[in-house]
Chains A and B, each alone.
Chain A
């Protein structure tokens, strides 16, 4: 009897208004955040506040095309995820972070390699955009990060990911961060609390916009594009937009090194 009922329901399920939400592509934004002892105080305060304020700003970016999810990995003496799986931006609640311990960034790279997989954090049944990976640190790794970075670099999700790094204060090393991003253009540096907050927000918003929209028009549309023409376009575009952010008058370059903390 139940079967007949189900069949009947199926036949007359012909209401053109009875839609579910449109299927979306998914974009995971990974935040790798240094929570070592040196981050204590203003740096962590600014970071926590900026992240809380960022949430409603990224919420709108996905529109009807992209389900934006966040995954936050903190590292100090060990490393841990804020939540056990990526959480949709609409449901994400920021847990304020504290700071203690040393800077085992290599551990975080290792943990990230493990989770950058179709069987793990990138398990959306539908299409995914290449993830955005945003690293924030105020120090130099205390462990052998190179070994773990090597492992990360053979992961194809990492290869296609949009990578950006934010160095905080004078201890953070831009060359080391560029090893992570594969490009010095997407490494930025914050020297004051205000700068830190603004850079976190602007970069997170810009990279999720680029990550979820992609497809950049060639400047002169006259010839057929090849794979080579479009490869790394997103990362290049992110580099350019970061340059625009830094060039704008809101980020004066004459701030004394490491002042304002």
Chain B
């Protein structure tokens, strides 16, 4: 392939030229360079033309994607193409990945390699998502990004761990490698990454589309939560050597979920799949059921795979059910002992936590200092799972007394201990008590 050199300039479509500064990385289809264009730095992906099946159609597709724009700000979307016909190959420019995001690959590995400047040797740096809230927020962000993409009538096609970057502090997500994204039903040659490809693609009877994206999305979520492969259990490990034939069998024709309730032949193996064995037991039933459904019914019937909006609701619930106990234990409410009066007891320290129920939820969520109430909790239909509408805080004067602070821009009606409702406007708060009721407008909440 024709590689670019630092210092070289590349003509851009619609005028101007980009200067190549250095190589950032290489992938299956080409090389990514750091480039400067109009005084700003970008990433330039330059294709190995031999690896693109139909370069003209491929380029045309990127051109329409640039024209359509990104479906959400989470995508590192193509911005400019290099000048058509000026070179044997071509490329496109996108924004640089923002600082502070770690590759999903490194998160799965739990470390990344850094280079010691003095000796040139590589050493390992730990990479771990900092809080359970960030982990589940990352899942919500990923699912929502794909919901937006699919709503725009497009499919990602090559969904895998290499394309995602997560802010381990906040759970924010950046989706990279957007160049294979195409209108649903179109494919420009990409098959996908083993392990993430839907069984029907492996078998050769389908090409990547929105339904196969949903399968890959479920694999990605499974790996994010359970840190293992949903199809790799005893049956697959017994084949010892993964040849082309055994891959066709275990990931295509005879794909079997490790927790298939009707067929135990492929259960995770202790000593190899310890993460999966441990984490599967920690998550509540509704999360496990969603994965079971996707990797059993959803294997043979692609149209029945869980849709993004459904995943989003499940993960919003899961985030609401996180309970950090004062003893340091942090897990989901389903792991705590349920007491009378809707309290949850920590079996480790004996501490009891009250709960509240929102009328649009249908499940109880714990009340603890620092818990955030999001816009999507207080509206019937809302995608604003990031926007904080309220927070549980300690009263600054009366230490130890918890209350809810209204951080939304609306006035809430709140039932106080005297039995009357009072208006609580934005920026104000009110104490939590056993008979508390809150009217948010569309939604109400009760202890």
Contacts and interface: CB of A to CB of B under 8 A. Distances in A.
A253 interface: no
Contacts of B162: 63
B292 interface: no
Interface in A201-221: 209, 213-218, 221
B50 interface: yes
Given A16-B132, A215-B194, A230 B245 contact: yes
A231 interface: yes
A225 B204 contact: yes
B59 interface: no
B327 to A, nearest CB: 9
B282 A14 contact: yes
Contacts of A191: none
Contacts of B124: 90
Interface string B239-252: 11111110110011
Interface in A22-81: 22-23, 25, 56, 59, 63-65
Q: Give chain B's interface residue range (CB within 8 Å of chain A).
A: 35 or more
B279 A222 contact: no
Contact of B225 (A16, A214, A223, A244): A16
A225 B199 CA distance: 12
B273 A23 contact: yes
A151 interface: no
Q: Give chain A's interface residue range (CB within 8 Å of chain B).
A: 35 or more
Contact of B161 (A64, A118, A130, A232): A64
B241 A22 contact: no
A84 interface: no
Contacts of A126: 237, 272
Contacts, number: 154
A232 B244 contact: yes
B48 to A, nearest CB: 8
B110 interface: yes
Contacts of A232: 244
B193 interface: yes
B161 to A, nearest CB: 5
B86 interface: no
Contacts of A4: none
A11 B106 CA distance: 29
B28 interface: yes
Interface in A1-20: 11-17, 19-20
B244 A233 contact: yes
B201 A214 contact: no
Interface string B54-72: 0000000000000000000
A13 B202 CA distance: 37
A229 interface: yes
Contacts of B282: 14, 16
Contact of B122 (A90, A118, A222): A90
A118, A129, A217, A218, most chain B CB atoms within 10 A:
A217
Interface string B330-346: 11100100000000000
B275 A20 contact: yes
A21 interface: yes
A249 interface: yes
Interface string B101-112: 000111011110
Given A20-B275, A64-B161, A218 B347 contact: no
A140 interface: no
Contact of A63 (B161, B189, B331, B335): B161
B20 interface: no
Nearest to B322: A16
Contacts of B190: 217
Nearest to A219: B53
B274 A20 contact: yes
B108, B113, B201, most chain A CB atoms within 10 A:
B108
Contacts of A244: 1, 50
A160 interface: yes
Interface in B192-206: 192-195, 197, 201-206
B248 A221 contact: no
B131 interface: yes
Contact of A90 (B113, B193, B273): B113
A145 interface: no
A17 B241 contact: no
Given A19-B279, A126-B272, A214-B242, A221 B201 contact: yes
Given A17-B131, A160-B241, A221-B204, A12 B275 contact: no
A96 B182 CA distance: 48
22 contacts: A12-B347, A12-B348, A14-B329, A14-B331, A15-B329, A17-B129, A21-B108, A23-B229, A23-B232, A59-B122, A122-B241, A126-B237, A127-B239, A127-B240, A128-B240, A214-B242, A215-B247, A217-B201, A222-B204, A224-B203, A227-B248, A244-B50
Given A217-B201, A223-B204, A224-B203, 10 more contacts: A11-B347, A17-B131, A20-B227, A63-B105, A63-B161, A90-B122, A156-B241, A221-B205, A230-B244, A248-B2
